Chains A and B, each alone.
Chain A
Amino acid sequence: MNIVIIQYNAGNIQSVLYALERLGETATVTDNVEAIRAADKVIFPGVGEASTAMAYLQERGLDKVIKDLKQPVLGICLGMQLMCAYSEENDTTCLGIFEEQVKLFKPNEATIKVPQIGWNTITQLKTDLFKGVAENRFTYFVHGYYAALGAHTIATTNYIQDYSSALHRDNFYGVQFHPEKSAKVGEQIIQNFINL
């Protein structure tokens, strides 16, 4: 299988690559447009800041390339947020694959920390991305902004309020958590994506 991980200025790419290797897959890390278009599966990772990442994608024309992909695409963390319509993080217009909006967590009490860092449950799971994954299993999150619930929500997590921990439209999937760092549950989800 030809899996491509999109290389851009928002890291944690190595972790994704190693997670694929543990599942017996290899992947190419590249920002080459032809290589991305030719892939069987595309992973759009990311840890970083939305406006800087979007500017980088636009400069290289990768924004249009990603939107036009027809094969299964998996956005991870910032990758998923960039696939949404808009992010409050530095007032950024994003790719608009999902209509959902990305908002800043607003703590309702002083002891709640932002960003959310750690393990939280995923519920109301939909689509084959979560095949064989039971409700209320834990995955690893690191994020200060969240995608609101909407028509494309395929997993829900609660932190301050319910939000979208995964989104899906057509061939596009996005997960807010890091499947590459989510122990066996995460491995199952990555395997499911490979199997799509």
Chain B
Amino acid sequence: MLTKRIIPCLDIKDGRTVKGINFEQIRDAGDPIELGAFYAAQGADELVFLDITATIEKRKTLSELVNKIAHRINIPFTVGGGIKTEEDVSVLLQNGADKISVNTAAFNDSSIIKRFAKNFGSQCVVLAIDAKCEQDNNWYVYLNGGRTKTDKLVTEWAKEAVDLGVGEILLTSMNHDGTKQGFALDITAQLAENLPVPIIASGGGGNEQHFYDVFTKGKADAALAASIFHYKEVAIPELKQYLHKQGIAIRL
């Protein structure tokens, strides 16, 4: 039986993991390779590395980093952040990334989804959507790391992107991100029930019950979190045991 996936996310800046990390077992907690390997050994089903480096010069170190990660890690991983061209994708895949994620660049020029899907296959194109529920009770797409609002509804953009060829959607609720009060179940379920591609839910996971809820009520195929794993507030082996006992299909 196909399992639900648990995905830790590592934010990378200038080759180092950012956001606080609290691991005693790891020699260098700022080293994304060490941390990624640690999560893989703990039973993470996939990893996402999100590069938030600002300058283009420093971004070139990303492909070297991806190469080192690929040497160490025996589970699939996605790399995202500032990917705009076929050349960007090609370099990352050649260095061992399994999938790439696109966000703002794909919204500004949706033809890149079509081109990426044709040249590299839909299975390696993940669309990241930063979503915010406004006062009118509709979910809107935000760009540039959540700084720029658009008038586009999340449901519309997700449908368009699937038609253009994205293979998975990583949906982050800005309303829930960082709150640890649970995932956005309504919009996650709305996408999961209406789109033929897997939905990765992100933002708000704070305890084991929240993951159970996003897989059952939210119908998510995978759930992503960062700081709760980094700070050991939720440990992946215990989380997976809990979900398994609750009857969720999970890889132990």
Contact = CB atoms under 8 A, between A and B. Distances in A.
Interface SS of chain B: helix, strand, loop or mixed? loop
Contacts of A138: 3, 251
Interface size class, chain B: 20 to 34
Interface in A150-196: 158-159, 178, 180-184, 186-187
B121 interface: yes
A183 B198 CA distance: 21
A113 B74 contact: no
B70 A140 contact: no
Contacts of A48: 121
A132 to B, nearest CB: 17
B185 to A, nearest CB: 15
B123 interface: yes
A104 interface: no
A7 interface: no
Contacts of A107: 196
Interface string B81-104: 000000000000111101000000
B5 A15 contact: no
A86 to B, nearest CB: 21
A116 to B, nearest CB: 6
A21 interface: yes
Residue of A15, A47, A111, A186 ringed by the most chain B CB atoms within 10 A? A15
Contacts, number: 86
Interface string A7-19: 0000110110011
Given A111-B219, A118-B3, A118-B198, A181 B98 contact: yes
Interface in B120-140: 120-124
B217 interface: no
A183 B76 CA distance: 9
Nearest to B5: A118
Contacts of A180: 74
Given A18-B70, A183-B75, 4 more contacts: A117-B168, A118-B45, A140-B76, A182-B74
Interface of A: 11-12, 14-15, 18-19, 21-22, 47-49, 107, 110-111, 113-121, 138, 140-143, 158-159, 178, 180-184, 186-187
